[in-house]
């Protein structure tokens, strides 16, 4: 028997106008990258869908797991390949829908191979009649409903075997990866920021990541391995990404030394925002994204969010701002970050945590609290201390390479000039 074929459908909504070719090209690339290492004969595009013809010995379960993650896929189905014969087609269609429960159905054929003797109307009515008779003989109360059927039995007439499928499985949805420009995500080790990253990737953004960590953590307690784990879970959605790792403790010590206790956390965050803005600009990102959710913790009251944001000019996106923790955790489970974020780690933020953090700070108050700090040199300290890891998704696995921070390369170049 021929190898299985996965039929992939996308929503037409994002394909209006001249962008169509661009988006479909990206979706095609994404399917190819996602399936790297799984034998694929070829991926065809006969009209408004993709046909992934798996190669000999391809593991179907693994292929499905990979396709499930591809952003921009509205739904997919595993099709039965059938020999090019009307009787075989009728039998395969029956096998496909016999066990499904429904009251109304339709048969829809698409013919990209015009050499097949019957036209689509003939195929639809022949197969439809056959199915109806089979249901009647079984005493099942099923009727044909062409406009709004509960189940559609789809038939593809393409060169090679005919294809039949009726079970549509929802895909990841959204827009194809890497179609919307670049954003820098502030990734902590917690649940929220990884989920926020996924939401933005799902709208086609390409994310780079920045993680602030404390060097004082004992071995095995560092937040770096959690950030690394989250990257490994997130990278397969967009195939490659950079992680900027910024040591924060020296900066925190300065804040503890020179600023009032109740606004410490907000000042840490203002420094994170400032350093992230520098990194974002260098990385040609146009916005920042965080995992904030309104009122979740003291630093996420409306006033505190606004008082922290006052230090940057870049747009800051917060896709989780109106969501509940339960919804966030459900998404974390779905995208595979939940277990990683559940690991204990040394979070840099609660370090020197004040006993009663300010709930409603104003930008002016925070500016005053920062009066004794040399903000520019603290930014520079953070940026200079940054190291970068590059993640790539290759053959179904995530690879990491350490790269020289750009700042060092720049300095070397300046020294040589």
Give dist(CA 241, CA 319) in Å, integer. Answer: 20
The overall longest dimension of the chain from CA atoms, in Å, is 87
Question: Which x/- pattern over 81-120 shows residues binding ligand ATP (rule: CB under 6 A)?
Answer: ----------------------------------------
Residues 365 to 394 in contact with ligand ATP, rule: CB under 6 A: none
Q: Which among 28, 390, 30 is positioned nearest to 177, based on CA atoms?
A: 30
Residues 278 to 307 in contact with ligand ATP, rule: CB under 6 A: 290-292, 296-297, 299-300
DSSP 8-class letter at 15: G
Do 127 and 81 form a contact (C-beta atoms < 8 A)? Answer: no
Minimum distance between the CB of residue 237 and ligand ATP, rounded to whole angstroms? 17
Minimum distance between the CB of residue 308 and ligand ATP, rounded to whole angstroms? 9
Minimum distance between the CB of residue 27 and ligand ATP, rounded to whole angstroms? 29
Q: Which residue has the tokens 């056959």?
A: 130
Which residues neighbour 120 within 8 Å (Cβ) at sequence distance 6 or greater? 109, 110, 111, 157
250 near ligand ATP (CB under 6 A): no
Tokens of 155: 């038939």
Where is 63: in which H helix or E strand?
helix 60-68
Looking at beta carbons only, is 24 or 248 nearer to ligand ATP? 248
Give dist(CA 270, CA 264) in Å, integer. Answer: 10
Out of 30, 207, 348, 351, name the contact with ligand ATP by CB under 6 A. Answer: 348
Out of 349, 358, 378, 383, name the contact with ligand ATP by CB under 6 A. Answer: 349
The Cα angle at residue 179 between residues 173 and 184, in degrees rounded to 5? 100
CA dihedral (356, 315, 331, 244) positive or negative: negative
Q: Number of residues in contact with ligand ATP, rule: CB under 6 A?
A: 20
DSSP 8-class letter at 371: T
222 near ligand ATP (CB under 6 A): no
Q: Choosing among Mg ion, ligand ATP, none, which partner's interface includes residue 291 (Cβ < 5 to 8 Å by kind)?
A: ligand ATP
Nearest residue to ligand ATP on Cβ basis = 190
Give dist(CA 99, CA 92) in Å, integer. Answer: 13
Residues 186 to 205 in contact with ligand ATP, rule: CB under 6 A: 186-188, 190-193
Looking at beta carbons only, is 178 or 300 nearer to ligand ATP? 300
207 near ligand ATP (CB under 6 A): no
Tokens of 294: 């309104």
Minimum distance between the CB of residue 270 and ligand ATP, rounded to whole angstroms? 12
Q: Which spans of this chain sit near ligand ATP (rule: CB under 6 A)?
A: 186-188, 190-193, 210-212, 272, 290-292, 296-297, 299-300, 348-349
């Amino acid at each position: 028997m021929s190898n299985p074929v996965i039929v992939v459908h996308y929503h037409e909504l994002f394909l209006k106008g001249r962008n169509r070719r661009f988006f479909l090209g990206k979706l095609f690339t994404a399917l190819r990258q996602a399936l790297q290492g799984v034998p694929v004969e070829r991926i065809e595009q006969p009209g408004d869908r993709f046909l992934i013809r798996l190669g000999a010995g391809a593991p179907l379960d693994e292929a499905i797991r990979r396709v499930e993650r591809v952003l921009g896929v509205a739904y997919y189905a595993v099709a039965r390949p059938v020999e090019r014969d009307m009787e075989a087609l009728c039998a395969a269609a029956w096998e496909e829908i016999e066990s499904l429960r429904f009251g109304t159905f339709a048969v829809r054929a698409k013919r990209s191979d015009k050499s097949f003797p019957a036209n689509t109307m003939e195929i639809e009515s022949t197969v439809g009649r056959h199915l109806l008779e089979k249901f009647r003989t079984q005493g099942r109360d099923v009727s044909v409903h062409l406009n709004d059927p509960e189940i559609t039995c789809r038939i593809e007439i393409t060169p090679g075997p005919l294809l039949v499928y009726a079970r549509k499985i929802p895909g990841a949805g959204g827009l194809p990866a890497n179609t919307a420009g670049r954003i820098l995500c502030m990734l902590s080790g917690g649940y929220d920021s990884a989920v926020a990253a996924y939401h933005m990737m799902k709208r086609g953004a390409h994310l780079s990541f920045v993680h602030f960590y404390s060097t004082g953590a004992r071995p095995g307690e560092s937040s770096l391995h959690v950030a690394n784990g989250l990257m490994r879970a997130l990278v397969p959605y967009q195939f490659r990404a950079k992680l900027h790792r910024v040591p924060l403790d020296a900066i925190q010590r300065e804040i503890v030394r020179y600023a009032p206790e109740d606004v410490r956390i907000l000042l840490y965050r203002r420094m994170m925002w400032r350093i992230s803005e520098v990194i974002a600009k260098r990385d040609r990102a146009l916005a920042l994204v965080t995992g904030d959710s309104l009122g979740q913790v003291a630093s996420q009251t409306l006033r505190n969010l606004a008082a922290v944001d006052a230090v940057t000019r870049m747009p800051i996106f917060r896709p989780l701002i109106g969501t509940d923790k339960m919804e966030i955790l459900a998404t974390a489970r779905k995208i595979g970050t939940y277990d990683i974020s559940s690991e204990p780690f040394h979070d840099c933020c609660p370090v020197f945590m004040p006993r009663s953090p300010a709930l409603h700070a104003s930008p002016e108050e925070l500016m005053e609290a920062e009066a004794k700090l040399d903000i520019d040199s603290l930014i520079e300290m953070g940026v200079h201390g940054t190291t970068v890891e590059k993640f790539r998704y290759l053959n179904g696995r995530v690879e990491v390479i350490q790269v020289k921070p750009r700042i060092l390369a720049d300095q070397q170049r300046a020294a040589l000039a």
